[in-house]
Amino acid sequence: MSLSLRDLTVRRGGRVVVDRVSLEVAPGSFVGLIGPNGAGKTTLMRAALGLIAAEGVSDLAALPPARRARHAAWLPQAREIAWPIPVEPLVRLGRRTDPDRRADGPAVAEAMAAMEVTHLRDRPATELSGGELARVLIARLLAQRTPLILADEPVAGLDPAHQFAVMALFSRLAAEGRTVIASIHDLTLAARFCERLVLMGAGGRIVADGPPAQVLTAERLQQVFGVGGSFLPTPAGPVFVTLPPPPSSPAPAPPDPADP
């Protein structure tokens, strides 16, 4: 089963945060959800999971919570740990939804190895650095072994090597037939690793949806983000870079109070 959203709309205090979003994600794809701050990326994923009330249809939100937890794992943006729980039992928390207890050990070991946190296994999670904690929490996500993974800015705060490692891992999981949807602010990483980008603009609408080269056009970048950008040839293949807006650009200028 993939993820299927139809006309999903979320209102917060009378304001539309996600506006009639329809999205079909096939199994085996790694989708990057991009867009400026406040475009509704997080809200869209929460609504898709059924964690917040929404109008429209999400096949995932329609499942009872326990079954949904076996189908989809969610990595929230907030990296909060209430107690000094050691890393291994923390990763093991991801196993609560799977009735198969024999799979716990291998799943936890595999997830910790994939995120290179095995050497931290006995350290209290509250004593880790921000990046280490982020990797431990991704390991928890992986230990859940769900066919669908939704992650909110999974690579924010990681060092470059681990950013690459996480993105490469997600792409490998997709190649193995699982589905990964991640919101990503780093357009270079998103363009490099995701085979499909979904661009959300102001007002919570999907502005563009397709392969990176088709989504990240100069006009769209200017219109949605207020920046320039292009694909540059490098020894490692074409790499997308964001560029400062051209000097003549009219966009995001503060409104002139003298203007009638």
In the complex, which residues of this chain contact other proteins (CB under 8 A)?
A: 46, 49, 51, 65-66, 68-70, 72-76, 78, 80-86, 89-90, 93-94, 96-97, 124, 137, 140, 144
- Kindly state the smallest distance separating residue 200's Cβ from other proteins, in Å: 20
- The phi, psi pair for 97, rounded to 5°, reads -85, -20
H-helix segments, the chain: 41-49, 65-71, 87-92, 104-114, 130-143, 160-175, 187-193, 212-215, 218-220
Residue closer to other proteins by CB (options 126, 249) is 126
Task: Give me the phi and psi of 174, to 5 degrees please.
Answer: -65, -40
Least Cβ distance, residue 98 to other proteins (angstroms): 11
User: CA 54, 182, 196, 215: dihedral to nearest 10 degrees?
Assistant: 80
Q: Which is nearer to other proteins, 73 or 174 (CB)?
A: 73
Report in angstroms how near the CB of residue 105 gets to other proteins at its nearest.
16
Comparing CB distances to other proteins, the nearer of 87 and 187 is 87
Torsion of CA 148, 152, 157, 158, to 10 degrees: 10
Q: How far is the CB of 151 from other proteins (least distance, A)?
A: 11
Query: Closer to other proteins at the Cβ: 130 or 238?
Result: 130
